[in-house]
Amino acid sequence: MLMAEQNQVWIGSRDSIIYIINIHSMSCNKQLTDHRSSIMDLIVEDGNKESSSSEVYSCSLDGVVIAWNASTLKVNRRFHLPCQTLTSIKLHNGRLWCCIGHSIMVVTTNGFFRQELKIDELSKEISTSFLCFQLVPEQDQVWAACAGHTDIYVWNIKDFSRPPHQIQLQDCSEISCMIKVKNQIWVGSKGLSQGKYKGKIYVIDADKRTVEKELVAHADMVKALCSAEDRYVLSGSGREEGKIAIWKVE
């Protein structure tokens, strides 16, 4: 889900449809049906001086990426990445960073390959995949979590060949999500707290790359994190609890 233009909320669905809600009328009177698989992520690129209209990128699980004109809702471009699963995308310096399971592929906004961060550079013994990632461009870093691993890995954007820095999350049993808020990385997970497994959030200082706080958020795993104007973070738990917590960012 994201805010596009000044009055649109775009919502991607598992039914492969993008629903567009007008925030003034609070009605959903537009649907985009060009995808053929579950919508996994949506990002927006603000318009430049030549074009005041924003461009929204959507990606679906089958590897299709579509660039939309947010004003006309017409397709500007579309391409298909050579992968079986595409779970998330981010935009940085005119490049799309695409999480495709065993690697993070960097392509142009037209889909042309530029570079790739492969998971086998991290572990040659354990079969794993990227769960989630965040870009920290001011530090030339990409932060990632991997299935079956309870550490956070930090690579240098300019040189993927260098071994990643590892950040250990104490008493963590499983990582599910992460977001960047100001100069912090918030990591949603499940871990031990007072002898019981609970939903936990690790707040990491992006400069020092150290865990500053451990927040016990929920009785169930933290499944989603959302930033509200970098002032608050909302955390959502799994189905066993199904609650939302609101945290003030310091």
Residue 77 in domain: no
Mean pLDDT, range 161-186, rounded to an integer? 94
pLDDT higher than 60, residue 93:
yes
5 pLDDT band, cuts 50/70/90, is confident
For the stretch 28-58, pLDDT in tens is 989 999 999 999 999 998 655 455 678 999 9
Which residues, other chains included, contact 137 with Cβ-Cβ below 8 Å and sequence gap of 6+?
Answer: 92, 93, 157
The answer to the question of residue 183 being in a domain is yes
Q: CB-hemisphere CA count at 13 Å for 214? A: 14
Q: Is the pLDDT of residue 124 over 70?
A: no
Cα–Cα dist 233/114, whole Å: 33
Domain annotation covers residue 247: yes
Task: Kindly state the average pLDDT of the residues 169-192.
Answer: 95
Q: Looking up tokens 């960012």, which residue turns up?
A: 249
pLDDT for 49 equals 45
Distance between CA atoms of residues 138 and 120, nearest Å? 26
CB atoms inside a 10 Å sphere around CB 196: 9
The yes-or-no verdict on residue 94 having pLDDT over 80 is yes
Domain count, the chain: 1
- The confidence score (pLDDT) of residue 30 equals 93
Among 134, 153, 130, which residue's Cα sits nearest to residue 91?
Answer: 134
In this predicted model, what pLDDT tens digit does every residue of 198-233 receive, in sequence order?
999 999 999 999 999 999 989 999 999 999 888 999
pLDDT of res. 50: 52
Structural domain of residue 178, as residue ranges? 171-250
Give domain status of residue 235, yes or no: yes
Residue 18 near residue 10 (C-beta atoms within 8 A)? yes
Q: Could you give the percent of the chain with pLDDT greater than 70?
A: 94
Average pLDDT over residues 235-250: 88
- Inform me whether the pLDDT recorded for 79 exceeds 70: yes
Residue 3 forms part of a structural domain = no
Specify the residue for token string 């909302």: 234
